C-alpha cells in the first residue's frame, strides 16, 4: 500500500477541469484509489466525490492505493508548479 | 429517472460547443451545455436535491438517489474568485429544481474575455444513460436532459 501526503500547489486545486483529469487518471488503475482531505477519504475515481472534497491550492491531501504508479501520477497532477510561479 | 432542467436560459450547444476540451470530450461527464442569454440573470438548480458544493462560478446538486449534477457558469471562471457572482442559496440546503442559486451576468463574463457557456454535467454517469432532450433555445428550468 502506497500512501503519499501532498501539498496541493496547482493554481485552482481540484476544480472541474483538473478534477476530471485527476479522476480519469485514477480510473486507469485496476486497484482502489483513495483521496483524503481533513480526515475524509473518498473514492478518487468518482468525480462527484472528488469535487465534494473541494481541494484547493495549499491544501494538504493524501492519495493511497496498492498501485504505486498511480499514486506517483496523481501526485504529479496536483503538485505541478503554479502558473507563472517558480 | 432524473430529469435535469436548464439552469439558465439560452441556446443548447451541447458539450461539443464548450470551448474547453475537458468538457467538450466528456471527461467531466456526459450532459449538455447552454450558451446563455447575455445580460444579468439567475442560474437555478438543475435538479431537486441538496446543494453539495456551492462556489460562485459552479455548483453541484445531489438528489435523493445520490446522483450529482454540476453546473459551471462560464469557462475558466474559477479565476474570477467570485467577482460578479452573488450567491442566492447556501451549501447544504435542500432545493427544488428551478430554485435560484446564483445571480450573475453572462455579458460581463464575456466582456472580461471569458466564454459564458454553461456546461451541465451528470457526474459519474454512464454516457448511455444520459439523453439530451432539448434543442435550440431553452428557457430557465425547461427540460434539458434525462438521466436513466
CATH number at residue A11: 3.30.1340.10
Give CA–CA dist B53/A55, Å, rounded: 12
DSSP, collapsed to helix, strand or coil, labels residue B66 as coil
Give CA A6 to chain center in angstroms.
Answer: 9
| Phi, psi dihedral angles at B129 (to 5 degrees) | -90, -5
Q: Residue A81: pLDDT band by 50, 70, 90 thresholds?
A: low
CB–CB of B52 and A52 under 8 A? yes
DSSP run (H or E) holding A73: helix A68-78
- The nearest alpha carbon in chain A to B53 belongs to A52
Give CA–CA dist B136/B148, Å, rounded: 23
Cell numbers found for residue A39? 480526515
Topology of domain B2-133 in CATH is Glucose Permease (Domain IIA) (2.70.70)
Domain that holds residue A21: 2-78
Task: Give the CA dihedral A9, A11, A12, A13, nearest 10 degrees.
Answer: -10
- In this prediction, residue B57 carries a pLDDT of 95
Active site residue B72: yes
Mutation site, B23, B119, B123, interface A, largest A CB count within 10 A: B123
B94-95 and B49-54 beta bridge pairing: antiparallel
Kindly list the residues from chain A whose CB atom is less than 8 angstroms away from the CB atom of residue B20. 17
Q: What is the pLDDT of residues B46-73, one digit of tens each?
A: 999 999 999 999 999 999 999 999 999 9
Mean of the per-residue pLDDT values of chain B: 96
Query: Is the ipTM above a cut-off of 0.95?
Result: no
- pLDDT of A42 > 60? The answer is yes
Q: Is the residue at A30 inside a domain?
A: yes
Give CA–CA dist A45/B123, Å, rounded: 11
Interior angle at CA B66, CA B62 and CA B68, nearest 5: 40
CB pairs under 8 A between A and B: 49
Average pLDDT over residues A47-64: 95
Q: What is the pLDDT of residues B90-129, one digit of tens each?
A: 999 999 999 999 999 999 999 999 999 999 999 999 999 9
DSSP A8: -
Count of CA atoms in the C-beta half-sphere (13 A) of A80? 14
Q: Is the residue at A42 inside a domain?
A: yes
- pLDDT of A48 > 70? The answer is yes
Domain count, chain A: 1
% of chain A beyond a pLDDT of 70:
93
Give CA–CA dist B131/A68, Å, rounded: 38
Flag whether residue A4 sits within 8 Å of chain B, measured between CB atoms.
no
Least confident of A34-43, B40-49, B79-88: B79-88
Which DSSP string corresponds to chain B? -EEEE-SS-EEE--GGGSSSHHHHTTSS-SEEEEEEPSSEEEEE-SSSEEEEEE-SSEEEEE-TTS-EEEEE-SSSGGGGTTTT-EE-S-TT-EE-TT-EEEEEEHHHHHHTTS---EEEEETT--GGGEEE---SEE-TT-EEEEE-
Boundaries of every domain in chain B:
2-133
Question: Of these residues, A2, A9, A15, A20, which one is catalytic?
Answer: A15
Amino acid at each position: 500500500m502506497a500512501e503519499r501526503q501532498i501539498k496541493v500547489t496547482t493554481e485552482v486545486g481540484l476544480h472541474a477541469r483538473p478534477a476530471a483529469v485527476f479522476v480519469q487518471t485514477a480510473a486507469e488503475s485496476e486497484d482502489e484509489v483513495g483521496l483524503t482531505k481533513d480526515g475524509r477519504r473518498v473514492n478518487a475515481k468518482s468525480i462527484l466525490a472528488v469535487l465534494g472534497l473541494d481541494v484547493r491550492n495549499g491544501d494538504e491531501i493524501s492519495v493511497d492505493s496498492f498501485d504505486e504508479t498511480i499514486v506517483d501520477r496523481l501526485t504529479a497532477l496536483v503538485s505541478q508548479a503554479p502558473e507563472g510561479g517558480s | 429517472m432524473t430529469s435535469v432542467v436548464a439552469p439558465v436560459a439560452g441556446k443548447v450547444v451541447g458539450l461539443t460547443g464548450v470551448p474547453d476540451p475537458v468538457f467538450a470530450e466528456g471527461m467531466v461527464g456526459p450532459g449538455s451545455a447552454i450558451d446563455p442569454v447575455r445580460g444579468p440573470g439567475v442560474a437555478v438548480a438543475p435538479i431537486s436535491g441538496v446543494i453539495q458544493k456551492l462556489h460562485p462560478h459552479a455548483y453541484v446538486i445531489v438528489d435523493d438517489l445520490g446522483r450529482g449534477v454540476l453546473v459551471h457558469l462560464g469557462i475558466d471562471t474559477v479565476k474570477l474568485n467570485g467577482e460578479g457572482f452573488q450567491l442566492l442559496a447556501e451549501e447544504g440546503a435542500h432545493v427544488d429544481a428551478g430554485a435560484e442559486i446564483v445571480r450573475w451576468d453572462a455579458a460581463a463574463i464575456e466582456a472580461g474575455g471569458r466564454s459564458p457557456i454553461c456546461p451541465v454535467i451528470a457526474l459519474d454517469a454512464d454516457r448511455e444513460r444520459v439523453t439530451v432532450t432539448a434543442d435550440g433555445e431553452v428557457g430557465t428550468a425547461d427540460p434539458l436532459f434525462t438521466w436513466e
